């Protein structure tokens, strides 16, 4: 195997591809193959004879498939928007062509960005988010308690005030007039 610290290329290739499952490699090859075929089958209603499907296929490519989400890269936002319009058609076509594949939706990225599909959030970002939410919750709880205390103080301080004498006389007369007229 080793001769004067030289490693055969075949051993290096075997080591590099040892972790790749054959089924997943075949599945990804068939997705790549049928992506172009399905997208090129999209027909345009344009009178100038433009082939929308071929344009879409030449301006997009499949990047990744995780958890039933197919990540597609396009070189302009307009192509992404057009692919979104035909998303259901593309998913149905790929699922029919590739046996055993499950694609629930498409995700898009603009060429040149580093967006990747992740199965779970980064633990550090999740922890920071949780700390920020806890801090905001504590602040809002403190505000609520302050308002509640202030309301109870206001309720205690608000004792019934004595009515002015002239208003009391008017109301008493009105009351007497009402009682005497009903009888």
Residue 104 lies in domain: 9-110
Secondary structure (DSSP) of 63-80: EEEETTEEEEEESSHHHH
176 and 88 share a domain? no
65 occurs within a structural domain: yes
Say if residues 65 and 34 touch (Cβ distance below 8 Å): no
2 occurs within a structural domain: no
- Report residue 50's pLDDT band, with 50, 70 and 90 as the boundaries: confident
77 and 150 share a domain? no
Q: Could you read off the pLDDT of 105-135 as tens digits, one per residue?
A: 999 988 876 655 554 446 677 788 888 889 9
Q: Is the pTM of this model over 0.95?
A: no
Structure tokens at 86: 């035909």
């Amino acid at each position: 195997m080793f001769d004067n610290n030289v490693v055969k290329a075949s051993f290096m290739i075997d080591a590099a591809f040892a972790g790749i499952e054959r089924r997943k490699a075949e599945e990804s090859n068939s997705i790549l193959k049928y992506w172009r075929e399905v997208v090129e089958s999209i027909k345009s209603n344009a009178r100038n004879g433009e082939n929308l499907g071929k344009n879409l296929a030449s301006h997009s490519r499949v990047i990744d498939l995780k958890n039933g989400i197919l990540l597609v890269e396009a070189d302009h936002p307009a192509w992404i928007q057009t692919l979104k319009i035909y998303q259901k058609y593309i998913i149905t076509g790929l699922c029919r062509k590739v046996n055993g594949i499950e694609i629930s939706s498409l995700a898009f990225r603009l060429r040149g960005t580093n967006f990747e599909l992740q199965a779970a959030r980064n633990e550090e970002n999740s922890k920071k988010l949780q700390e920020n939410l806890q801090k905001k919750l504590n602040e809002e709880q403190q505000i609520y308690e302050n308002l509640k205390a202030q309301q109870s103080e206001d309720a205690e301080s608000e004792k019934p005030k004595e009515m002015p004498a002239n208003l009391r006389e008017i109301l008493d007369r009105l009351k007497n007039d009402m009682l005497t007229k009903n009888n």
